[in-house]
């Protein structure tokens, strides 16, 4: 596909040492006219992440990812922010992607992982914080991730994968991996229930390990030598080091092969200097998930998150603290109807900070480490992530519908939050974006339902605009005040549309009861909310054209798209991306264990009334609305058969429809040029059915 040329107004950098005299107002060039955002612009956005604060709080290390649209590639580099002055600079510039920066105890060095020139796998590097060349510490056959310094500053703990049979012989492991790669046999064989996750098969026999390396000798010690599988089904690595460096708190799955039961993760205590010692299970009282351990500053207790219900898709995570001496477990922040995440201790151990979704925002809260402690809102606006806690400031990333992530600081004394980076200021100085509003209407059951409204740039209230009804996934998620690159509202509305995005029943951020309200009825209250939200918008805003409306959704939002297709023809067109359209074929999902007898209390062999009634394909005979169906081959969360079945049902009944299939994408469209193509397909389809030239053009067959 030929990529359209993106308009770009560059800034000229002066190379001379003397600053020019200021020009008079008459001599200054007129500022360039702003332009509408394009899908290509999304890949010019610099994306910060992985915040890590130095021990003294004086500097913040983070990563910045840049994309090259023409090459379809990305690079990621380390940056450092001076927390007092706000000055920031790139620390690494190599042609590579640098990840997971972590400060040494004395604040002079940063360890990170990177796959650089000559590296076969992501390797461990250390660089001085004041600059210079990074030193390569270690490369292993299956890569290195999640490094953490031990307090002595001489050793680093990290994670890697191994073939257990060859774990003590790296040369033999490398040889075996080479043979596997070169084998002409492509079969995948298993007798386990869990065989793949998201976009990756889990039949390689690899085991996750924690190891420690001595920086002087480069010698490694396996801290988990008996572990024979990944720590978690999803291969997430969640561990923390005690302040004295003697212990590791590790989240690992207790559920053994063949994995026919829902995963039960526990928090284990491991001795750093005695890998042969038995692990202590700190959470054996709970048969469901315990995760994300975090030691207190005095090392006497550990924070973690807990879920207690099997297949509890609507359950809010509970914030817990276990006392290591007594084993007593206490729930924190229990008075708030929130689902805490990303919990962090204050330096003195008297305060716990965490993030949580609340009223269509992801806020930062604080509480005390005791039961029944008050929960106090600290940071309100936007979508805040990647929290780092310092002695006087909090640091985090913030994005909104109008701006992507930048690093922010929150002063704990004054309560003021300020932006500390300007990574994307130059790009956004060129762009004109639509305004964003928030509304509330009466939805299903008489409940108040929140809705975002996004306007096109150059909006004129005297004109008529098509309405795009965007539907978020989950179902247990929310649409917050966020930028996002995959479904960017500003790009959607640029052609001259108004978009609404509803936090319908089942959305998080509005209380646990609201999330659970759709159990056994995925198509009931959410559908009613979408219909009532559409009615509300059309009645309240005369500039919306009731004859030109579209519904767009992905994942669970795609479920709603196919459900709408079978229950109403009020929308002129529908877009269904990676949607759950058929309950039977959803059993090929990587989440089949959670799907089984879960949301609808049924299965292909136990066809309950709800299972049949809530399945979109049960209503396929009613499909009439022109629909764009999009799916990726590597989508194991909602397998590609879902999109193909839906498309086939539309085609068989003569419903105008178009299939867009990506053989190399998963549940999300992640490759830059594929993303631009995706936005183009959606733009053209909407233009055909609800755009200014809709009508005669809509009858034309797809090319």
Which pLDDT belongs to residue 372? 87
Which residues, listed in sequence order, are joined to residue 436 by a DSSP beta bridge?
A: 454
The pLDDT of residue 474: 93
Rounded distance between C-alpha atoms, residue 57 and residue 374, angstroms: 27
**How much is the pLDDT for 695?**
55
Burial per residue of 145-171, b for 16 or more beta-carbon CB atoms within 10 angstroms, e otherwise: bbbbbbeeeebbbbbbbbbbebbeeee
H or E, element range at 138: strand 135-138
CB 602 within 8 A of CB 500: no
Nearest in space to 233 (alpha carbons), one of 282, 187, 195: 195
Our measurement of the distance from residue 359's CA atom to the centroid of its chain's CA atoms, rounded to an integer in Å, reads 19
Q: C-alpha angle 387/393/397, rounded to 5°? A: 35
Which overall architecture, per CATH, does domain 433-698 show? 3-Layer(aba) Sandwich (3.40)
Give residue 3's pLDDT: 35
What predicted TM-score, i.e. pTM, was given to this entire model? 0.93
Which DSSP category does 701 fall into?
Answer: P
Report d(CA 612, CA 591) in Å as an integer: 20
| Chain region(s) in the chain for CATH 3.40.50.1820 | 433-698
Q: Which residue positions in the chain have pLDDT lower than 50?
A: 1-26, 28, 696-703
């Amino acid at each position: 596909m030929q990529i359209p040329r993106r308009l770009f107004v560059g800034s000229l950098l002066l190379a001379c040492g003397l600053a020019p005299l200021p020009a008079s107002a008459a001599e200054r060039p007129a500022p360039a006219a702003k332009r509408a955002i394009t899908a290509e612009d999304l890949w010019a956005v610099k994306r910060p992440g992985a915040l890590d604060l130095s021990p003294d709080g004086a500097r913040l290390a983070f990563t910045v990812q840049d994309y090259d649209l023409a090459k379809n590639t990305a690079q990621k580099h380390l940056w450092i922010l001076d927390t007092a002055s706000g000055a920031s600079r790139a620390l690494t510039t190599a042609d590579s992607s640098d990840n997971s920066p972590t400060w040494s105890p004395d604040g002079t060095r940063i360890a990170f992982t990177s796959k650089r020139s000559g590296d076969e796998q992501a390797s461990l590097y250390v660089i001085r914080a004041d600059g210079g060349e990074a030193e390569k510490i270690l490369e292993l056959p299956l890569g290195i991730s999640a490094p953490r310094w031990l307090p002595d500053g001489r050793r680093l703990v990290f994670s890697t994968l191994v073939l257990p049979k060859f774990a003590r012989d790296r040369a033999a492991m490398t040889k075996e991996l080479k043979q596997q790669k070169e084998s002409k046999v492509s079969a995948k064989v298993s007798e386990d229930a869990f065989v793949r996750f998201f976009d990756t098969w889990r039949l390689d026999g690899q085991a996750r390990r924690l190891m420690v390396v001595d920086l002087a000798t480069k010698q490694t010690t396996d801290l988990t030598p008996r572990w024979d599988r990944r720590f978690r089904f999803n291969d997430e690595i969640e561990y923390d080091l005690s302040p004295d460096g003697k212990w590791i708190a590790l989240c690992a799955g207790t559920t053994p092969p063949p994995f026919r039961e829902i995963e039960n993760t526990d928090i284990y205590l491991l001795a750093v200097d005695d890998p042969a010692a038995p692990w202590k299970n700190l959470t054996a009282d709970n048969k469901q998930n315990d995760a994300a351990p975090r030691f207190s500053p005095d090392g006497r207790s550990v924070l973690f998150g807990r879920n207690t219900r099997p297949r509890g898709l609507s359950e809010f995570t509970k914030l817990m603290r276990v006392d290591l001496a007594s084993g007593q477990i206490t729930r924190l922040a229990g008075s708030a109807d929130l689902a805490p995440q990303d919990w962090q201790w204050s330096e003195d151990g008297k305060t716990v900070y965490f993030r949580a979704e609340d009223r269509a925002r992801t806020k930062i809260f604080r509480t005390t480490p005791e039961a029944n402690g008050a929960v106090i809102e600290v940071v309100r606006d936007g979508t805040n992530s990647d929290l780092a806690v310092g002695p006087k400031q909090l640091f985090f990333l913030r994005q909104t519908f109008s701006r992507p992530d930048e690093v922010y600081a929150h002063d704990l004394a004054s309560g003021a939050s300020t932006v500390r980076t300007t990574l994307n200021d130059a790009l956004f100085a060129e762009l004109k974006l639509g305004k964003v509003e928030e509304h509330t209407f009466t939805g299903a059951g008489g409940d108040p339902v929140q809705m975002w409204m996004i306007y096109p740039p150059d909006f004129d209230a005297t004109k008529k605009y098509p309405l795009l009804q965007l539907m978020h996934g989950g179902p247990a998620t929310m649409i917050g005040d966020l930028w996002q690159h995959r479904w960017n509202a500003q790009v959607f509305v640029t052609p001259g549309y108004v978009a609404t995005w509803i936090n319908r029943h089942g959305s998080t951020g509005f209380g646990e009861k609201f999330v659970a309200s759709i159990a056994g009825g995925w198509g009931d209250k959410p559908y009613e909310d979408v219909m009532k939200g559409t009615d509300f918008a059309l009645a309240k805003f005369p500039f919306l054209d009731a004859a030109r409306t579209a519904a767009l959704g992905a994942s669970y939002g795609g479920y709603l798209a196919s459900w709408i297709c079978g229950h109403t023809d009020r929308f002129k067109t529908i877009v269904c991306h990676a949607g759950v359209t058929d309950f039977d074929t959803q059993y090929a999902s990587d989440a089949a264990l959670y799907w089984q007898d879960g949301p609808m209390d049924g299965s292909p062999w136990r066809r309950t009334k709800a299972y049949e009634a809530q399945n979109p394909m049960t209503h396929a005979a009613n499909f009439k609305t022109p629909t764009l169906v999009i799916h990726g081959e590597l989508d194991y969360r909602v397998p590609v058969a879902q999109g193909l079945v839906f498309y086939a049902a539309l085609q068989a009944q003569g419903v105008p429809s178009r299939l867009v299939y990506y053989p190399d994408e998963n549940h999300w469209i992640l490759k830059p040029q594929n993303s631009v193509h995706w936005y183009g397909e959606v733009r053209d389809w909407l233009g055909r059915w609800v755009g200014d030239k809709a009508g005669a053009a809509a009858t034309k067959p797809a090319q």
